[in-house]
Amino acid sequence: MRVAVVGSGFAGSLLARVLKVQGHDVVLLERGTHPRFAIGESSTPLANLALERLARRYGLDDCYDLAAHGRWIKRFPELRRGLKRGFTFYRHHPGRPFAVQGARSERLLVAASPNDHVADTHWLRADVDHHFVRAAIAAGVDYRDRSEVTPETLKRLKVDFTVDASGAGGFLARHLGVPSHLERMHTRAGLLFSHFDGARLIRNAVPGLPAGPYPDDWAAVHHVIEEGWLYSLRFDHGVTSAGFLLKQSVAGAPEEMWRCLLQRYPTLGALFGDAKPLFPIAYEPRIQHRLAHAAGRGWAMLPHAYAFVDPLFSTGIAWSLRAIERLALCCEHARAPREQELTRYDALLSAEADQIDWLVAGAYLAMSRFELFAAQAMIYFAAVSFAEVRQRVAPSDDVAWSGFLGVGDRVLGGVPRASLWRLRHARTPQDRRDFIDWVTRSIAARNVCGLANPAVHGLYPVDLGVLVQRHATLGMSRESLISALPALRGADRRSLISDH
């Protein structure tokens, strides 16, 4: 099959390479050139598991090494990245520094890995995307940059199948007239962002923070404020990617908006007041997009071309990699995807876009009360930690077609939608207590990591002891779970690759 992949972000380049490895004739078209600045940087355990599966199935050993911080720095020290040990959240109030109040601190830390070696990473996308393009070229993909692609280009190239990996560029949406379904989305936020040099560490700006399960800064850090939230992703070379997601615009030019928000929240001012933007601070009034279809006869879109909700919970990279796995499976044995496979792909992406949107929109509603927000976050952590543990103890390529974020799961599938409804109706203190109890009950049958536990005061380590206690939740005996522990600790699985 002759395939065109339009867009050479990491996702387009990686899919193009996989298709080439499968024996297809692949052209990768990029309107810009590499290296280039991009955001969307924080990976997760599910993203890394997908990278490892792709590595194993298609013999891409670089993907295996890029799936853990320790392996990455050993093999690719020149590709810049940051250590990500977990998800850190704080709630800030206008005019007041972040208050350390012991067990009552509005602080939530959820560890995603047991140590630095197997930890997740923040991807400096300029370097990582460039790496994936070079690897695609080395595999034999016909890469053409500075290409303004049109339907005529594709006709001239005589392609049988087109993958739209143009992200928010929306190549196929424009050329095929795929309608927008933005009105379906509940999440609404603008983005004010850049990369910064000289941002301070939280532990230096907030004295007296009790030790958590990992150092607070080495994480995807989320600062929740009245206007929305700020992400802060630190790279190992000292640069920080940061951006405010704003429910409503703040007056002024982007630099003024940035300054004004830092002034309003003293701890954010302490963290970023002296930091220098490496690129002009930019503002986009709305970052969500959503289309009516993700696939049709002769074409498919990768998730970021089809829909984007919000960076909250770092869903984009993992979702994109899952979709790459699905499309790659459809193209094995030198064939084009069948119509029913594309229908299935389209339906799954649609359900997953809704699921992310419900979860994130609920989290925005919950932001006004940190205890509600923390409860809503537990739905995300229950879904991803259950999926992660299952994938680690029973690895299988069928995972590609399982729903992302609990889609299709009889226990968790309906929870994000129901939680959004409940949050909309939670008005009194009793409603809020009921909501927290409801979350705890709703995730119980998937809660393999001891989430929603008031006794830990918002500090969740990776606790394999809890996991062993909950072996029945995974349908496993205590003994079989104990024998699977090396896989859960992230023991080196290179042997699986060399066996390929």
Ligand X SMILES: Cc1cc2nc3c(=O)[nH]c(=O)nc-3n(C[C@H](O)[C@H](O)[C@H](O)COP(=O)(O)OP(=O)(O)OC[C@H]3O[C@@H](n4cnc5c(N)ncnc54)[C@H](O)[C@@H]3O)c2cc1C
Among 53, 304, 369, 422, binds ligand X (CB under 6 A): 304
In sequence order, the 6+-apart residues with CB closer than 8 A to the CB of 86 are 109, 110, 111, 112, 113, 213, 214, 219, 220
DSSP character at residue 184: G
Which one of 8-16, 87-95, 374-382, 435-443 is the stretch in contact with ligand X (CB under 6 A)? Answer: 8-16
Q: Which 184-243 positions form the footprint of ligand X (CB under 6 A)?
A: 191, 243
The nearest distance, CB 193 to ligand X, in angstroms, is 6
Two structure tokens written together for 361: 């929109």
d(CA 269, CA 92) in angstroms, rounded, equals 11
Q: Which 165-194 positions form the footprint of ligand X (CB under 6 A)?
A: 165-167, 169, 171, 191
Nearer to ligand X, 163 or 462 (CB): 163
Three-state secondary structure string covering 55-121: HHHHCCHHHHHCCCHHHHHHHCCCCCEEEECEEEEEECECCECCCCCHHHCCEEEEECCCCCCCCEE
9 scored as a contact of ligand X (CB under 6 A): yes
32 scored as a contact of ligand X (CB under 6 A): yes
**Collapsed DSSP state (helix, strand, coil) of residue 159:** coil
Residue linked to tokens 């990582």: 128
Among 3, 4, 5, 8, binds ligand X (CB under 6 A): 8
Nearer to ligand X, 55 or 318 (CB): 318
Nearer to ligand X, 212 or 303 (CB): 303
41 scored as a contact of ligand X (CB under 6 A): yes
Backbone angles phi, psi at 29, to 5 degrees: -110, 130
The nearest distance, CB 321 to ligand X, in angstroms, is 9
Query: What are the beta bridge partners of residue 284?
Result: 191
- Identify whether the C-beta of residue 372 lies closer than 8 Å to the C-beta of residue 435: yes
- Identify whether the C-beta of residue 301 lies closer than 8 Å to the C-beta of residue 161: no
238-277 footprint of ligand X as x/- string (CB under 6 A) = -----x----------------------------------
Nearer to ligand X, 42 or 376 (CB): 42
137 scored as a contact of ligand X (CB under 6 A): no
- Identify whether the C-beta of residue 90 lies closer than 8 Å to the C-beta of residue 97: no
Nearer to ligand X, 373 or 435 (CB): 373
The nearest distance, CB 283 to ligand X, in angstroms, is 12
Closest CA to 305 of 63, 11, 43: 11
The nearest distance, CB 302 to ligand X, in angstroms, is 5
Backbone angles phi, psi at 89, to 5 degrees: -130, 140
Among 28, 29, 55, 387, binds ligand X (CB under 6 A): 29
Which one of 28-36, 206-214, 291-299, 423-431 is the stretch in contact with ligand X (CB under 6 A)? Answer: 28-36
Q: Which 48-67 positions form the footprint of ligand X (CB under 6 A)?
A: none
Residue linked to tokens 């954010």: 268
What does the binding site for ligand X look like in residue numbers (CB under 6 A)? 6-12, 29-32, 38-42, 149, 165-167, 169, 171, 191, 243, 287, 302, 304, 311, 314-318, 320
